[in-house]
Amino acid sequence: MSSNLLQDPQILPRTRPQVNARTTMRANVFHGPNEIRVEEVPRPSAGVGEAVIRITLTTICGTDLHILRGEYRVKPGLVIGHEPVGVIEELGEGLTGYNIGDRVLVGAITPCGQCRACLSAQWAQCGHGEGVEAIGGWRFGNTINGAQAEYLLVPNAQANLAKIPDELSDEQVVLLADNVSTGFSGAESANIRIGDTVVVFALGPIGLCAIAGAKLMGASFIIGVESDPVRIKMAKRMGADVVLDPKQDDVVAEVNRLTSGGPMWQSRHSVCKRRSRTVCAV
């Protein structure tokens, strides 16, 4: 390879990590139940197949609150957060298609793209860590440092960076990292087909996104189940045809009536189905 090619500025950013003079950054660090502090921590550097992004926007998930309260255990000293939007600051060797300065979104789930689960299109089931430290692909703020920081190290970056179109703002895309993708994944897992009737229980942010996902997948009639008036109003904007209030309605009887016989539910965690193609997301 010629020396001129090695000095080509179009090649260097793709193959050599860019050095930032800062060695520390501010981050939100978990120390124990009800003890989270913003403090100075080492700034990450990109290794082979990794990227470092400068965080421009992130948010707080309900899971972060469970961590804060000690209801979901993570190791002390971990930077929390898993919904990052930012700008590429460093690219490790082996990455293609990205450049320093690209605006990117990174999902809360960061699969390796190479294990059996990933190659079977079950990316959320990508286990990782020694002895499988975690079952599933959720790493940020769970088993590795997360997004509530000035900089974030992205593992397996080739599989986990999504460029943001110039016409979209950070605020317009930040929910795609977790809420929207989780809700849509529920709709996909239910294998919704065109013309199906869908019932979605509990219309928080993810439930609302499950409604939107069901609509996009072709559901012809969507029933929501929720008691909060703000969420009821939003559910109708997101695509629900009917919203039942469990404080006022007999939900089972109403679903039976609205579906001309009702689903024969065999509910297990997230999805239940009926032969006549009424699909329920819980």
For the chain, the structural domain boundaries read 3-177, 181-281
Task: Give the pLDDT of residue 131.
Answer: 58
The predicted structure's pLDDT at residue 133 = 66
The reported pLDDT for the residue numbered 178 is 92
- Work out the angle between the directed axes of helices 205-216 and 229-238 (0-180°, nearest 10): 20
Residue 178 and residue 62 in contact, taking contact as beta carbons nearer than 8 Å? no
Nearest to 192 by CA among 225, 222, 219: 219
pLDDT single digits (tens) 71-127: 999 999 999 999 999 999 999 999 999 999 999 999 999 988 888 888 888 888 887
Q: What global pTM score does this model have? A: 0.79
Give the pLDDT of residue 273.
39
What's the pLDDT at 93? 95
For residue 177, give the DSSP letter: G
- According to the model, what pLDDT value does residue 116 have? 84
Please determine, looking at this structure, whether the domain spanning 181-281 carries the CATH number 1.10.8.60.
Answer: no
Residue 24 one-letter amino acid: T
CATH class of domain segment(s) 3-177: alpha beta
What pLDDT shows up at residue 268? 32
User: Which residues in the chain land under pLDDT 50?
Assistant: 1-18, 262-276
